Structure formats: structure tokens, C-alpha cells
Structure 1
């Protein structure tokens, strides 16, 4: 049925469709729905405590027996810079005044922790079938512990040399993340945004450069995109934006409306929301302060000063300061149940692949 089964043979799902881990807008419910449709559900775990990760995995395991992917960040943490953060808060001062938020009130620091020994112990305990990483790989001793559990290790590459590095350093699957993709860029060997490669150019070059299965990510939201990825040599796809409007996602009503109104020109890459480059639907602060601002503190600290503004605006039903992470194929998504969407994507792709085969 599928022309390249290398990815399927590793992860043992029905379809080679990976739900992109989208922190903040999804939980176990969307993972379960995609798994029930035959795809690989991914639980974003970079913002979860160990206890919350256990709770979410237990919910998933009670409902489905399908393979599960836990996703983590591997960024090198940067200490908060008080002067930089004060300057950033000053840059946002007019918004604090407009929304009646006290800039002197204590703020909860943004929490996006890199994979560490504590979370590695959680992986050893929960034994997910797949573990995926963004921004590289964890240090070798932690990666060795993950691999010792029997987990398949996936990691994102945005340029060919990142893919080669991942293969050389222990990944089992490469996620080739094109510039079209929503959310944070998985860049770790480069910081040059202008040189980021589109999915159609990246996938075949990564396929040629490594001996591992390649999962295409970015700009894929329907059967045509999946078939195209396979034609380029991928053996799987990772899809996120197409699932954002599914009823199982945790996207708020105002954010859902903004996503539904988006077109092909609505998304931009910004550093304003978190301090790290990410693609999303442009909101007010991205338009007025960015989308790229030299004032934004390093990841994840830019998000700290935005927190109170986000809460205040959302109370008024506005998304002026809300992360609307999404890729360029967002308008191709549909507000249908995720199980149905997964099955439809697979059916459409298989029909198109059969037609292409002749």
C-alpha cells in the first residue's frame, strides 16, 4: 500500500502520519484521536512536569494500545538577563498601560525546559515506543539511556548538515522540517533564517544524504502533500496545522477564529513570542514589535513579559499576544474530528499514490 515502509516498520502504526507535537494547544485527547485513526500520536512534553507527563501518558494508555511518541526540547538553556528583560518589558510598556496590567507585579517565568536526567527517568519508567527531539539531541549519556529503553529516536533537521549530524549522533529517523512548517524552527547547527530550506527542496536532499527513514514536515496538510512527500523519497509525514481546528485540540475560541480566517499570507516567522524563531499567524504584537526584534530576550524568556498581556487580552476575547503557531498550509486544515481527518488524509494519499503508480 505505502511505497516506502521503512518508517512504518520502525514505529508500527497503520499509517505513516505523525501528529506534530504542538505544546500549549493539545493534550492526550488529540493524541488518542490521531492514534485511533491509525497515525502516530505525539505528546509535547517540554512544558510538562514529570507528574503531568505520567498523568497524560496514563490517560493515553488506558484508551489506546497504539505506539506513542513523547517529544522534548534539547536547547541549551540561557540564564535570564535582568537588564534585557527590563528593557523588553519597557518595550511592551504601552501594552501594559492599555490593558491596565501592573508592570511591577510578579510574573511567572516562562517554562520550556530542555530534556534532562529527571525527564529521562520518566521516559525509562513510561517506555514510550518513540521519543522525538527538537533543537538537536540530548547529551550522549541521556540519549544512550533513552535508546536502552528500546525507543525509536526521531529528531528534526532544517538543513542537510543537521540531518547528517543527527544520523552520526544516534537518531533513528530524521524529521526534515521545511521552512513552511509552523511552530519553532528545529535549527541547532545554524541560526541563519534567510538560508532555511523549503520542504520540497529539503526532503530529497536529506533523503540522498542519510541512510535513515525521513519524515517530511512543513506545508503538508492533505493527501496531495503526503503523496508529494513520498514522491520525494520520504517514508512518513509530520502534520500539525491541519489538526489545529479539530474539536480535540485545546485551541481557544478566539484563536480558533483567527486560525479559521487565515490565508496563505497570514503566517510569519518571528522571535517576538518566545525569543526563538517560530512560524505562526501574525498577531498584533508580532506586527507592531516584530516580527523579528533585536530587543526580544533569549528563548524562552521573551515569553515571560508577554504572559500577563496574553492573559489580559484573552479575557477580552483577543489574541493580540497569543501564540498562534501554524504553518503555511494552515488554510487546508478542516474542523473535523481528528480520527476522521487522519483516516481521510491516509485514504487521499494512497489514492493519489496509486494513480501516480499507474
Structure 2
């Protein structure tokens, strides 16, 4: 038994060196289940048996092993130990989980399937940016971001104002970009960059696979490596409107890693939502973590500031009261 366990440990350590995604991790666990099962004459250790060995509920194990939820470190330790991993092999599994966590946070998603989709989308965007001047794509780093979101009379977001300071990661950078995704009732091709300060419009393009509008913003000079540069831009959705706008219920930002200092303000005007709250999610498809209830000021605005936002979603969400005509009479 000891020799067999040692073999499994070495085999796992060698295979785990290539694990970087949730799908890789669940596949590695599945291989270990099959190898361990040969000792008891089964094709693969079943969930019921694993639940008894680990003390982890069967339904929770199913979510982990299906890749629906990223397995926590303590649960992974219990699982692989139940499957015979000992000594240095435990460290290899821990390192593999660290790599998977970084990859998952790099997409903002915990789901293996959705994370793979996001990575594929980003790869297609990069492939479509083929002009010589497209080198700006990864050459600036945001060090502070302030956004003001305006909600109009129809309860839909009508404009987004961004005030950003970037740092050049290499010399010669003279532009950055803003990506806009499709919205119901909005002509994606008609979206333009307005309200510009310290920058001017470059070549705006709409990609088809995936559908995304890339707004290029030009600086007034090429930056030196490490140089900072502030600029402002406004995207007005009302000017690109083609149909009825859906009521908006959230605004925020997704950070793939620890983000810059971030301020988010949402202005509602006179038509105020029923409940407004600041929330955070470790992943886009993860559970919502309420941070605080927000109360509009005298001008109908709410905001929050995060000095060093962690990876994930940082947002303001709200609920609209039903129109008077839709309410049930008592």
C-alpha cells in the first residue's frame, strides 16, 4: 500500500505542474480518483464514498468535481489526502490550486466553462487588433479610476463618464482604449467617445467576433516608461439609441486582479430606486457580498470609494419600485 501511495504521489506531482485552470484541476482529481479506485477494485471512487472519507457533503463535492465552484484549499487537502496523497504531493496540489485561483481571478469567473469562454473572447479581440499601432493594448496600467453613471428618466443608464490616470508600462505608448459591449436598444456602431479631456479620438472600431466596440483614445505625446497620464472620456448611450431601453439595475467594474483606486458614483435624479446597495463578488458568477446600504444625497446620487479593490466585481445595485398602475390594490 505504501509503495502504491508513493507512486500516486509522484505521478500526481508531475501531472499537476501543467494545471492552470479549473478544468485542468477537476481532470487531475478525476485521474487520481481512478488510480486510487484500482486498489479497491472500482472504476472510480464514487461521490458517496468520497463524502464519507472527507466529511464533505455529497452535493458540495459534486459542485467541486463538476467545476461549477472552485474548491477551497482546506477541502482540496481533505480530498486528496482521502485519495492517498501524502508528503510532497500535498504541496504540489496546493501550488496547483494557487495557479488555478490566479487564472480564475484573471477572468473574473469561478466557473471553468465561463472562464474558458472569457479567455477565448479576449484572444479573439487580440487577434482582431492587427494594426501596427495596436501595441497599446497591454502597455498602460490604470492607477486610479473614477466613474460617474447617469440614470435617465426611463430608469436606464444613458451615459458613463470616466476619469482615469494611467501609467505607461513601456516607452512610446501614445494611446489607450475603452471597450463597450452590446446593450439592448443601442446601436453599437454608433457609440463614440465624447467629453474628452487630455486626449482625442483615434480610430474607433466595432469587432464582430465577439461584438465589441473599441474606442481608441490618443494622448498628446508618447509616454516614457513609468510616466503617468490623466484623461477623461464620456460615452453617451442616448445618442446611439435605436429602441426602448431596459431599466438598469446595476453599475460597476470587474477587476481581473487587485485594481486601482476606484470611485463609483450613480446619479438617479428625482426618480429614486427603492433600495440601493454597494456589493462585491469575488467572481462574476460568485455569491453577492453586501457591503453597505447607500442613501441618495440631496441631488439623487450615491457613491463609494475603494482604495485598493480586490479582484472581482465592485458594484452598486438597486431595485425599482413598481409603477403605481402595476401595484395591487389593498
For the superposition of Structure 1 and Structure 2, which TM-score range results when normalised by the shorter chain?
under 0.3
Higher strand share: 2
The TM-score normalised by the length of structure 2 is 0.24
Bigger Rg, which one: 2
The TM-score normalised by the length of structure 1 is 0.22
Higher helix share: 1
